Structure 1
């Protein structure tokens, strides 16, 4: 929990309950009576066959992956809920616990043919099959205090075991989603001259998405975080073309200029989630994009400096975005066609060998990613309107940059090398909420890391000492509004200073 906003409930119940947590943007502590827990199991197998048929190569790639995930979460974020009878100022004082699991299976098959030798027309073409199935179960258990014999104090009636009546309700949902996709693709390079070439690619995709959903509830009416029983099933189909076209020209042996156009296609979707209702069963249309890029790739100063520059512009229609909404008193992420967005900018990366033992590398990008025209999802409880048109897209800082130094110390120790490295990463202000919540952002920050590595001349053995976030800079990677009540935040491991040691041996 980060920021908590003043209200009758927060002032009387929520904030005192969270004590002694310090409720601000630097808080990393929790106050739960159900330990947050996640268990993941991943497995997979893949096989590739390549046949050399002389002028062409035939390739088959078959792959299968499985993912199992179990999670439990304290949905009320407190260790002592409920404290009071669930009426008046204390309305909403409930204990909420979430548990769920999913099983995800994915199978892919690709067949590809490619030209094997340099020639005027070089090509690759193929067929691709993709199938996934995800089986989900989710449970939300909510306990409230409905009556108490304890005396009322300040308009609040406290609850305690043996003196109060507690009622528990729960909702359970089973839902399955399937995606099947077929595509045919091809891309060719036309070598007009040794220095001038054209690129043309095309892909056709057929997608089918289906689902079945059933939610059961112990209550006929909605209660905190759980809608009444609901069941639904359906499927949608769509198809689309995508592709690219471009030109490349070698200005010299070490400087290449290029320009490209790309047509993008992201298939249709269905928004299947625990609290879904009939209004949420509609299709989410495919997202389509038009993108343009122009740039230079260079190797300069006897190839001691690699410098790449690019400018880009892209526009997305039927943009598929996550929208934070309130459903039955709980925050949910709803996938929606959010309208039209665009992004433009420049990017640069470099690698400079200043001396044989000292090098600098890094990059910089400027990105103006904003909402052109936003469309609210049907039945959205959170207010959203044209007021956010022109506002920045979430998770898209305007400026990002990094610079890394690597220096092999000239110590002339026989059989050993000592290397220093240091990096600085900068990111400008970042908004996390597409609905532009004024508190859901991270201010600009920079992270400084450093390390020293001792290794043998043959790199068989090495020992590294690392220092992360030397200035102990606090930052978050997401802030999630809980309506107008409070703000949750996710803090990564690197948001505080720490040190480490790595030992490595190569066989």
Structure 2
């Protein structure tokens, strides 16, 4: 098999400084697969993939925060929302984008995001009769070299070059029972190994336009310098796992799973300025992060159309070392594992002669020692730090439904309700206790209607109308109003013709049909007086051609 993809566009935002369109997309990908069966009991699947991105780094919109007058000052001391873009507020250099155009900006330099990915894997399945032996071997590497005009302004206030390389080798071996159709016990057991190396040499060029004010051309005390933090992190991971499904009764099945994981990490770090002319901090550390995780579950088949289930899962996210810009040894103290206890109950059903599929679930997540990115002021500059800052509780429910209304019309819909809040959480003197987790809308909804109309001469007309809704979200732990996005609806449509044999399909599409503009994320750099707003892509219209083989 072979699959490929090429995606390009000319950009969606106009840069008034250069006259170019920015935020352009330019990438391609390919995947090759080969299946080899040297024996009727042995099957080997080989895959190789490649991804190449030569597009542009995201260029956000600039929103100035420092008020110039008392009238323009909000309750938090920053620019009042009614004065955004008025010219009565500016960033640390006094600049403000005042044209009110969400699809235009002033950037002295345009970012690039060069990414190269490669992966190869081999999975061998050997049927030994009652059991099978499965081996999965994989290797991958990733290279990134990205330049980001972070401040998104005509001045050189903050520019970042991300430079990273990663190599990873994994090997999994497992034994598993074969399904003979009447066994009450089904099981799998195995081991996993990973060897990974990550090298990073990213650089932050801060306040370059102020360099002429200092005799040496830079000043660490005023954060006027190019700061870099090259490091190498090596990880060796080991895991042993097993899971069993046992049929307690004719329609009742229990699941028990257990896994032990250990990550041996070594960290060689240096924080420096001006290309290594000044070394701020060095650190060499090693630590092993380990934990048990597992699963318990019950599944009851009420009948052939309805299943009920209840599960408990304990998982963890491995601890590690903070790889950002650090100026004190305390910032490099390893953060611990994050633990999650997840409880879920639900049902899966196919009703009315399988014309309706209905799935419902309710869940409760309990996070302990949650790993949280938080802003901190270091030497006058706002930076992100990662630490075990909080515990949180998440309650939610989901409903998914598919209905075949007629021979030609089907409708899909989904509704999600979420209550996600921090427990006790103090960071840099701020109290975030009870705040909502970032990017956690209380309500999301999606629906799609799919219609197929047979043609007398053969083939079909096919069409889809879809809509998605998300309630308000916050982009920061503080839940500040300026760092949020109100509820939004997005609608799309597609119409086309499909050949009688189903192999060829062509048509037209519209994404974001009503051209809604909304914020996808916000990065706030309070110390420099700027919010950086990443917006969604505008309405796009186009044609498509598909060939299935």
- TM-score, length-normalised on structure 2? 0.79
Question: 1:263 is matched with which residue: 280, 301, 314?
Answer: 314
Partner of 2:546: 504
Report the CA distance shift for 1:19/1:311 in structure 2 as closer, same or farther (over 3 A). Answer: closer
The answer on whether the counterparts of 2:126 and 2:132 sit within 8 Å (CA) in structure 1 is: yes
Partner of 1:217: 273
Partner of 1:152: none
Question: 2:535 is matched with which residue: 488, 491, 494?
Answer: 491
Aligned 1:237-252 pairs, distance under 5 A: 237-252=288-303
Question: 1:194 is matched with which residue: 224, 230, 250?
Answer: 250
The answer on whether the counterparts of 1:138 and 1:172 sit within 8 Å (CA) in structure 2 is: yes
Partner of 1:133: 197
Report the CA distance shift for 1:219/1:36 in structure 2 as closer, same or farther (over 3 A). Answer: closer
Shift of 1:415: 2.1
The answer on whether the counterparts of 1:145 and 1:166 sit within 8 Å (CA) in structure 2 is: no
Find the aligned partners of 2:522 and 2:485 in 1 and give their Cα distance.
8
Shift of 1:489: 1.2
Mind listing any 5+ residue stretches in structure 2 that lack a counterpart? Answer: 1-60, 70-86, 219-224
Deviation string, structure 1 residues 394-425 (Cα, Å, up to 9, x no partner): 11101001011001124x33222101101010
Find the aligned partners of 2:297 and 2:276 in 1 and give their Cα distance.
59
Shift of 1:145: 4.2
Question: 2:126 is matched with which residue: 46, 51, 54?
Answer: 51
| SS in structure 2 at match of 1:270 | coil
Aligned 1:101-140 pairs, distance under 5 A: 101-117=163-179, 118=181, 119-140=183-204
Find the aligned partners of 2:120 and 2:337 in 1 and give their Cα distance.
30
**Between Structure 1 and Structure 2, how many residues are aligned?**
462
The answer on whether the counterparts of 2:372 and 2:387 sit within 8 Å (CA) in structure 1 is: yes
| SS in structure 1 at match of 2:439 | coil
Shift of 1:336: 1.0
| SS in structure 2 at match of 1:474 | coil
Find the aligned partners of 1:128 and 1:502 in 2 and give their Cα distance.
42
Is 2:66 the partner of 1:22? no
Report the CA distance shift for 1:28/1:17 in structure 2 as closer, same or farther (over 3 A). Answer: farther
Report the CA distance shift for 1:48/1:440 in structure 2 as closer, same or farther (over 3 A). Answer: same
Partner of 2:217: 167
Is 2:335 the partner of 1:291? no
Shift of 1:375: 3.8
Shift of 1:218: 4.2
Report the CA distance shift for 1:62/1:51 in structure 2 as closer, same or farther (over 3 A). Answer: same
The answer to which of 428-437 and 58-67 deviates more is 428-437
Is 2:483 the partner of 1:440? yes
Partner of 2:159: 97
The answer on whether the counterparts of 2:246 and 2:254 sit within 8 Å (CA) in structure 1 is: yes
Partner of 1:84: none
Report the CA distance shift for 1:146/1:473 in structure 2 as closer, same or farther (over 3 A). Answer: closer
Question: 1:419 is matched with which residue: 458, 462, 473?
Answer: 462
Find the aligned partners of 2:471 and 2:120 in 1 and give their Cα distance.
41
Mind listing any 5+ residue stretches in structure 1 that lack a counterpart? Answer: 82-94, 149-163, 222-226
Shift of 1:471: 1.4
Partner of 1:5: 65
Find the aligned partners of 1:435 and 1:353 in 2 and give their Cα distance.
45
Shift of 1:13: 6.0
Aligned 1:433-472 pairs, distance under 5 A: 433-472=476-515
Find the aligned partners of 2:434 and 2:147 in 1 and give their Cα distance.
38
Shift of 1:220: 11
The answer on whether the counterparts of 1:326 and 1:332 sit within 8 Å (CA) in structure 2 is: yes
Report the CA distance shift for 1:440/1:96 in structure 2 as closer, same or farther (over 3 A). Answer: closer
The answer to which of 187-196 and 305-314 deviates more is 187-196
Find the aligned partners of 2:255 and 2:211 in 1 and give their Cα distance.
70
Report the CA distance shift for 1:4/1:375 in structure 2 as closer, same or farther (over 3 A). Answer: same
Partner of 2:441: 397
Shift of 1:486: 2.3
The answer on whether the counterparts of 1:17 and 1:80 sit within 8 Å (CA) in structure 2 is: no
The answer to which of 449-458 and 11-20 deviates more is 11-20
